[in-house]
């Protein structure tokens, strides 16, 4: 038996993605036998934490699992469950390990259940080691660099009935053309680059996602064309710092140039991107955005802090003044642009004066919304070794004050559009009120509006009747825009 399995592995093509296609076929065969034995289909469930990158990776993993023959289920009482982890904050692991305990009880009831762990947390040696030693019911562990290998790892696990650990500390591979199961049929995320080279002093991402690698523009355009052919109208171009896209390619291409190429794809009506690092945002990009009919009127431009002194310690490479100048430039080129941001409160050494500088930026930049984070001392990063960590009660007090100003600014911005009509991509049935539809304006603001569910997936004119903080209540306009 063992020898037969080894023979199968030795027949696998060397080249990717052919190799993975081969293992998907082999897994499918094994699954069929199991299905017959059980008299039912096998199910899978994914638990995804963290940012857009992880959600995009999960779509790829789900695509592979479906290709193999697993059927998605909403419950963790499934035949295959994976946790795609995030580690951007220090204590994220406590939550994940807590939840893993529940899986153990499910596995007792279903002996053949397979549990996998992947994502950013598994790129940390001590976390992978902990899973190996203390969570022996976890069958497969892999990292961020080899998600494309899921079928091969699963085959190894199924055929040898043993635990599989495969974590790479880096890669320069970009494997294309594997299945992907998209959450929405009409909008999709598209990776344009992987990794990050910025090493902001508080951030773990460069350590767990590796060095920056850009996909070739022709591959990106080909993927967008394929998506358009499948009915996608909105694409979100994804990268940790899209503004530095293309710099490391053999034939360098700017992000602005890439946007003009994506714009030409017929059928694509909206283009979004995230995230923009302020230090690399070019005039060329502002020009392309301002001229474009398709690029959405929204930019996510994380400021992190308003204090130039702290920005230096954060290794962000811009000052408060440079950031505000950039905001001015964007606003004069596109008066209807919505700007959102990320802010960290309580970075080591933050004084009340530094914090006031952040409050000042929030007021001056006029954000449509902001993600606010309490600084988390992420071990392994330079900031974790800084001595002057800010006491918790002071951080919480600042955080509350910041939330108030952010909320107030957002309310003012949103109220300004009350009564107008805007184009909304209808995305889903409203979670709270099933008679309503939820969608997004070009500026990324959420609108809940009365309409028939047949509008889902379409871009429709909606009268924004009432601004409620971060979102609108509206109704479908009969007379167009």
CB 328 within 8 A of CB 368: no
Site for ligand SAH in 207-246 (CB under 6 A): 240-241
Min dist CB 102 to ligand SF4, Å, is: 31
Backbone angles phi, psi at 46, to 5 degrees: -120, 140
Please report whether residue 196 would count as binding ligand SF4 according to CB under 6 A. yes
Q: Which does 373 bind (CB under 5 to 8 A by kind): ligand F3S, ligand SAH, ligand SF4, none?
A: ligand SAH
Site for ligand F3S in 220-249 (CB under 6 A): none
- Total residues contacting ligand SF4 by CB under 6 A comes to 10
Site for ligand SF4 in 256-295 (CB under 6 A): 277
Sort strands 234-238 and 213-214 into parallel, antiparallel or unpaired: unpaired
| Helices and strands in the chain, H and E counts | 14, 19
CB closer to ligand F3S, 201 vs 477: 201
CB closer to ligand F3S, 212 vs 269: 212
Q: How far is CA 97 from CA 84, 138, 245, in A?
A: 12, 11, 35
Distance CA 450, CA 438 (A): 9
Return the residue of 54, 243, 275, 305 that touches ligand SAH, per CB under 6 A.
Answer: 275
**Residue 24 token pair:** 């998907």
Return the residue of 62, 85, 159, 240 that touches ligand SF4, per CB under 6 A.
Answer: 240
Please report whether residue 200 would count as binding ligand SF4 according to CB under 6 A. yes
Please report whether residue 54 would count as binding ligand F3S according to CB under 6 A. yes
CB 244 within 8 A of CB 195: no
Return the residue of 105, 199, 252, 379 that touches ligand SF4, per CB under 6 A.
Answer: 199
Min dist CB 85 to ligand SF4, Å, is: 16
Is the previous residue joined to 72 through a cis bond, with omega within 30 degrees of 0?
no
Return the residue of 31, 42, 120, 122 that touches ligand F3S, per CB under 6 A.
Answer: 120
Distance CA 34, CA 249 (A): 45
Q: Which does 375 bind (CB under 5 to 8 A by kind): ligand SF4, ligand SAH, ligand F3S, none?
A: ligand SAH
Q: Which does 199 bind (CB under 5 to 8 A by kind): ligand F3S, ligand SAH, ligand SF4, none?
A: ligand SF4
Min dist CB 242 to ligand SF4, Å, is: 11
Tell me how crowded residue 231 is: count the other CB atoms within 10 A of its CB. Answer: 10
CA nearest to 425, candidates 219, 184, 242 = 184
- Residue 14's contacts (CB-CB under 8 Å, 6 or more residues apart) are none
The window from 192-200, 349-357, 388-396, 463-471 that contacts ligand SF4 (CB under 6 A) reads 192-200
Q: What is the CA radius of gyration of the chain?
A: 24
Place of tokens 């992947």: 118
Distance CA 33, CA 219 (A): 37
List of residues contacting ligand SAH (CB under 6 A): 88-89, 202-203, 205, 240-241, 275, 277, 302, 304, 342, 344, 373, 375-376, 378
């Amino acid at each position: 038996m063992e020898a037969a399995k080894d023979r199968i592995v030795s027949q696998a093509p060397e080249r990717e993605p052919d190799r993975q296609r081969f293992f998907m076929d082999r897994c499918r065969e094994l699954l069929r036998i199991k299905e017959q034995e059980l008299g039912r289909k096998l199910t899978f469930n994914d638990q995804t934490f963290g940012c857009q990158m992880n959600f995009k990776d999960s779509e790829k993993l789900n695509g592979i699992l479906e290709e193999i023959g697993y059927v998605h289920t909403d419950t963790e009482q499934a035949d295959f469950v994976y946790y795609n982890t995030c580690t951007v904050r220090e204590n994220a692991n406590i939550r994940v390990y807590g939840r893993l305990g529940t899986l153990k009880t499910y596995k007792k009831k279903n002996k053949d259940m397979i549990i996998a762990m992947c994502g950013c947390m598994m790129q940390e040696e001590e976390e992978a080691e902990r899973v190996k030693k203390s969570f022996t019911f976890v069958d497969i562990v892999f990292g961020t660099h080899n998600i494309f290998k899921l079928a091969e790892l699963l085959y190894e696990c199924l055929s040898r009935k043993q635990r599989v650990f495969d974590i790479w500390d880096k890669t320069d591979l970009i494997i294309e053309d594997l299945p992907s199961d998209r959450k929405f049929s009409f909008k999709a995320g598209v990776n344009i680059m992987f990794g990050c080279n910025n090493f902001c002093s508080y951030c773990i991402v460069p350590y767990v996602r590796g060095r920056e690698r850009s996909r070739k523009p022709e591959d990106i355009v080909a993927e967008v064309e394929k998506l358009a052919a499948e009915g996608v109208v909105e694409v979100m171009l994804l990268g940790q710092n899209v503004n530095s896209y293309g710099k490391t390619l053999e034939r360098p291409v700017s992000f602005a140039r890439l946007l003009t190429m994506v714009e030409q794809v017929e059928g694509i009506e909206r283009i979004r991107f995230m995230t923009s690092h302020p230090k690399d945002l070019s005039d060329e990009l502002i020009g392309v955005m301002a001229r474009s009919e398709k690029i959405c009127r929204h930019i996510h431009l994380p400021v992190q802090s308003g204090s130039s002194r702290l920005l230096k310690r954060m290794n962000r490479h811009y000052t408060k003044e440079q950031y505000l100048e950039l905001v001015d430039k964007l606003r004069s080129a596109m008066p209807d642009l919505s700007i959102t941001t990320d802010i960290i409160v309580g970075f080591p050494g933050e004084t009340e004066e530094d914090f006031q500088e952040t409050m000042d930026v929030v007021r001056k930049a006029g954000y449509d919304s902001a993600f606010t984070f309490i600084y988390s001392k992420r071990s392994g990063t330079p900031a974790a070794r800084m001595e002057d960590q800010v006491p918790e009660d002071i951080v919480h007090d600042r955080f509350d004050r910041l939330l108030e100003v952010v909320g107030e600014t957002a309310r003012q911005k949103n109220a300004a559009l009350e009564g107008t009509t805007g184009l909304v991509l209808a995305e889903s049935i409203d979670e709270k009120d099933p008679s309503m539809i939820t969608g997004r304006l070009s500026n990324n603001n959420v609108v809940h509006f009365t309409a028939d569910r047949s509008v889902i997936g379409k871009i429709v004119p909606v009268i924004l009747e009432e601004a409620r903080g971060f979102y609108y209540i509206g109704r479908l306009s009969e007379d167009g825009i």
